[in-house]
Amino acid sequence: GDSVTQMEGPVTLSEEAFLTINCTYTATGYPSLFWYVQYPGEGLQLLLKATKADDKGSNKGFEATYRKETTSFHLEKGSVQVSDSAVYFCAPPLEYGNKLVFGAGTILRVKS
C-alpha cells in the first residue's frame, strides 16, 4: 500500500538557519500531499499542500515541491524562527484500507 517516510528528529537549529525536513512517499498514483504542523498543546494544522506532480505548496515562508521523479515532498524554509518550533508531519491522503495516515513526525527546535 501507499506509505510515507519522514526524516527522523529532533532537528535543532539556530534562529535564521535554513531548514529542510525530508519526506518521501510511495504511491500507485499521484496523490495530493500535505504537510501539517503541531504546536505544543495544540492539534495538527494544515501547513501546505500540493495537489499534483511539480506543484509547489507554500505558506508562512515554508515551501515544498511535489517531485514526481524522486517521489519526494521535502519541507524547506529559508530562515527559521523560534516560533517555528513544533512537530511537522508529512501526510499522504487517506485511502480506503490504508491505515498509515501520518508519518512519525519531526520535532523541530529553534534556539535563539
Partner 1 sequence: DAGVIQSPRHEVTEMGQEVTLRCKPISGHNSLFWYRQTMMRGLELLIYFNNNVPIDDSGMPEDRFSAKMPNASFSTLKIQPSEPRDSAVYFCASRLGLKDSNQPQHFGDGTRLSIL
**DSSP-derived secondary structure for 35-75:** EEEE-TTS-EEEEEEE-STT-EEEETTEEEE-BTTTTB--E
Amino acid of residue 53 = A
- Least Å distance, CB 17 to partner 1, is 26
Judged by CB under 8 A, the residue of 40, 43, 70, 112 near partner 1 is 43
If binding means CB under 8 A, how many residues of this protein chain bind partner 1? 22
Nearest CA among 42, 57, 41, 40 for reference residue 91: 57
β-pair partners for 83: none
Judged by CB under 8 A, the residue of 9, 72, 95, 109 near partner 1 is 95
- Using CB under 8 A as the binding rule, whether residue 40 contacts partner 1 is answered as no
Binding site for partner 1 (CB under 8 A): 31-32, 34, 36, 42-46, 49, 51, 89, 93-97, 99, 101-102, 104-105
